[in-house]
Amino acid sequence: MAPLVLKSSSSGTSILVIGGTGTIGRHLVTASLDAGHPTAVLVRPAAAAEDPAKASLLEAFKTRGASLIYGDINDAEALVAAIKQAGDVVISATGHSSPEEVESQLRIVAAIKEAGNVKRFLPSEYGCDVEHVAEHMVEPARSILGAKVRVRHALKAAGIPHTIVCSNWAQGFLLPRAGDPQLPDGRPPDTTATIFGDGQVQATFVNEQDMSRVAIKAVQDPRTLNKKLHVCPPTNLCSLNQLVSLWEDKIGKPLHRHYVAEEELLKKIQESPFPLNFQLAIVHASFIAAGRAPSTKRNIHTKDSHGETMTQGVDDVDATQLYPGISYITVKDYLDALPPHNTLRSDGSRPDSR
């Protein structure tokens, strides 16, 4: 691999993003560039060659000053070299289509350990706090999120400095679908809205751009070192009933509400192909199982992703307390910015998403 020269920057902390062309990764790369960090993206050679949209995205990153490193996490030698050259901080945004894909991050952990220069590692999380919800999950979510737990344990055992970002639901997936992953092409309902459970349980929805800004702030923050960073702005709590009401306000007419009981949802999960079965399993955990799960007992008072008062432990920090200056895109803000007859891009982002 040819020597890499990162673009100069006012920030001395270089960031290597792995999975930077994915739904979450592209926002992390953008946030890193926005913050002035020398930023590199690990790119599989086939990614640009096979996907014109990814090739265009990578070209846009280069135009903004990002450096591209062509390699693969399956090539241990190249991965170690990339980390040594470009990774004061390594951020993973790899996918989660299977436990095996999640556990591919164990190769990143091993490479970071060998490289010996990484000051902070952010594993591919950006969702729920898996150690507290995995027991409430049904398959296939339980196995996939269980793999995330194993990655957490491995990086801790290796003594790698890290921050785990728990940002709950990404707005770009469920909000445009009015809470129903089954809707084709991400189109909102026109006459009938499907609501899973009783529709009363609230969850937190965080915009991908906001989550990424928080993550980049955290990489140099000593307060987040070896912590779980919870991104749970109280203004972003929303139930499925509330979400449908916001959609009704937007389209200017009422929707018939079809409530799906837990037994019916569990049957749908069993019968659906991947990734729909995984998506529905996460919906089940968030909006049905969470409604009967007791709050976790910790030490510092905050709100959990369902709006319940809870306490945090010594390994937990709250982004809204650490970075009070961040203004979060609310559920209503997000929906208001969508066109009336919304059509999502293939990556789940809204048409005007940066």
For the chain, the structural domain boundaries read 15-169+206-230, 171-204+234-298+326-337
Confidence band for 312, pLDDT divided at 50, 70 and 90: low
107-137 pLDDT tens trace: 999 999 999 999 999 999 999 999 888 777 9
What CA–CA distance (Å, rounded) separates 235 from 82? 40
- Active site (annotated) includes residue 148: yes
| Alpha carbon 37 to chain centroid, angstroms | 21
What CA–CA distance (Å, rounded) separates 102 from 98? 6
What CA–CA distance (Å, rounded) separates 65 from 242? 41
| pLDDT attached to residue 348 | 46
What SS3 string covers 30-52? HHHHHCCCCEEEEECHHHHHHCH
| pLDDT attached to residue 50 | 84
Confidence band for 188, pLDDT divided at 50, 70 and 90: confident
- For the purposes of burial, counting CB atoms within 10 Å of the CB of 77, is it exposed (0-12), middle (13-18) or buried (19 or more)? exposed
Three-class secondary structure of residue 283 per DSSP = helix
- Beta carbons within 10 angstroms of residue 318's beta carbon: 18
Residue 200, pLDDT > 50, answer yes
- What DSSP line would sit under 136-155, residue for residue? G--TTHHHHHHHHHHHHHHH
The DSSP code for 345 is -
| pLDDT attached to residue 294 | 62
- Beta carbons within 10 angstroms of residue 329's beta carbon: 19
206-248 pLDDT tens trace: 999 999 999 999 999 999 999 999 999 999 999 999 999 999 9
Which one is catalytic: 54, 113, 119, 148? 148
User: What CATH class does 15-169+206-230 carry?
Assistant: alpha beta
The CATH number assigned to the domain with range 171-204+234-298+326-337 reads 3.90.25.10
Whose tokens are 């009933």? That residue is 241
Q: What's the pTM?
A: 0.90
What CA–CA distance (Å, rounded) separates 84 from 183? 44
| pLDDT attached to residue 240 | 98
Q: Which residues contact 230 (CB under 8 A, 6 or more apart)?
A: 129, 166, 302, 305, 312, 316, 317, 318, 319
Residue 163, φ and ψ in degrees, nearest 5:
-140, 130
What CA–CA distance (Å, rounded) separates 203 from 152? 23
Residue 335, pLDDT > 70, answer yes
